[in-house]
């Protein structure tokens, strides 16, 4: 889903004929974030779209540029606190679940760190690798390949528990932020007319 955090695609689905064949793979942001960011949506995500099934819950990862002198979440927090206003975190766009994951991290810890929104994860990660920004909480599939190549450092996963594929990588929760969990819930949404068969 691209365009206004998925709102453009959701608008098209909400206005399509309620034929029972039009489905929307809906990131949780369309119901939980978008209505609060855009005051003039042309559809109501909670009235015009009916949930069908939850497809997945995807963990994100907290990764940093290799120049950042932190090898754990605790070290990153201490570094940011020792250098207020000098660190930034990227997102794939304002209002995205990636942005909200970063904001939740910043807010829970009361960190003085700037948000830098990008038009997608690819340019954000490119700038992260290039050292223009220091950190990002992003999708597992985006960050990990660059960690394996040595271009980024993986500090933690945002799931409630460690991931089976990465058992040595701690969660943010167990790294000193006990109430933090940031996952992308992906649902399939049946379109517009909630009364359609």
Please state whether beta strands 135-139 and 87-91 pair in parallel, antiparallel, or not at all (unpaired): parallel
Flag whether pLDDT at 187 surpasses 70.
Answer: no
**69 part of a folded domain:** yes
9-28 pLDDT, tens digit each:
788 888 888 887 888 876 66
Taking only the tens place, the pLDDT of each residue in 137-167 is: 988 888 788 999 999 999 999 988 999 988 9
CATH code of the domain covering residue 166: 3.40.190.10
72 and 52 share one domain: no
Q: Does residue 46 share a domain with residue 73?
A: no
Residues 46 and 86 in one domain: no
pLDDT of 195 strictly over 60: no
95 falls within a domain: yes
DSSP 171: B
Element (DSSP H or E) covering residue 185: strand 183-190
Same domain assignment for residues 79 and 101: yes
Same domain (yes/no): 89, 51? no
In a domain? residue 11: yes
Asked, for residue 195, whether it belongs to a domain, the answer is: no
Residues 154 and 68 in one domain: yes
Number of domains in the chain: 2
Q: Which residue has the higher pLDDT, 186 or 104?
A: 104
pLDDT of residue 25: 77
In a domain, 87, yes or no: yes
Determine, yes or no, domain membership for 176: yes
What CA–CA distance (Å, rounded) separates 124 from 128?
A: 6
Say what the pLDDT of residue 27 is.
Answer: 64
Judge if 119 and 36 occupy the same domain.
no
- Are residues 82 and 178 located together in one domain of the fold? yes
Band the pLDDT of 130: cuts 50, 70, 90: very high
Residues 32 and 117 in one domain: no
Q: Residue 191's pLDDT is what?
A: 43
pLDDT tier at 29, thresholds 50, 70, 90: low
Domain extent for 103: 59-182
The per-residue pLDDT for range 80-96, each reduced to its tens digit, is 999 999 999 999 888 77
* CA–CA distances in Å: residue 96 to residues 50, 64, 156: 21, 19, 20
pLDDT band for position 176 (50/70/90)?
Answer: confident
Q: What number is the average pLDDT over the span 165-187?
A: 83
Report the percentage of the chain scoring pLDDT > 90: 44
Residues 6+ apart with CB under 8 A from 77: 109, 111, 176
One domain for residues 11 and 105: no
Residue range 170-197: average pLDDT?
67
Are 92 and 77 in the same domain?
Answer: yes
> Taking all residues of the chain, what is their mean pLDDT, rounded to a whole number?
83
């Amino acid at each position: 889903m691209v365009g206004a955090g998925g709102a453009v695609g959701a608008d098209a689905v909400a206005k399509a004929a309620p034929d029972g064949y039009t489905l929307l793979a809906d990131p949780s942001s369309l119901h939980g974030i978008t209505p609060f960011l855009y005051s003039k949506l042309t559809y109501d995500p909670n009235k015009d779209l009916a949930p069908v099934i939850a497809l997945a819950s995807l963990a994100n990862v907290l990764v940093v540029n290799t120049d950042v002198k932190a090898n754990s979440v605790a070290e990153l927090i201490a570094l940011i606190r020792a250098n207020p206003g000098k660190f930034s975190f990227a997102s794939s766009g304002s209002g995205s679940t990636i942005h909200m994951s970063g904001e939740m991290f910043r807010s829970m810890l009361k960190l003085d760190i700037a948000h830098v929104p990008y038009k997608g994860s690819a340019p954000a990660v490119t700038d992260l690798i290039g050292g223009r920004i220091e950190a990002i909480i992003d999708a597992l599939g985006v960050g990990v390949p660059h960690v394996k190549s040595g271009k980024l450092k993986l500090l933690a996963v945002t799931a409630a528990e460690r991931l089976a594929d990465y058992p040595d990588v701690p969660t943010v929760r167990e790294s000193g932020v006990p109430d933090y969990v940031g996952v992308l819930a992906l649902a399939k949404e049946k379109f517009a007319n909630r009364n359609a068969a």
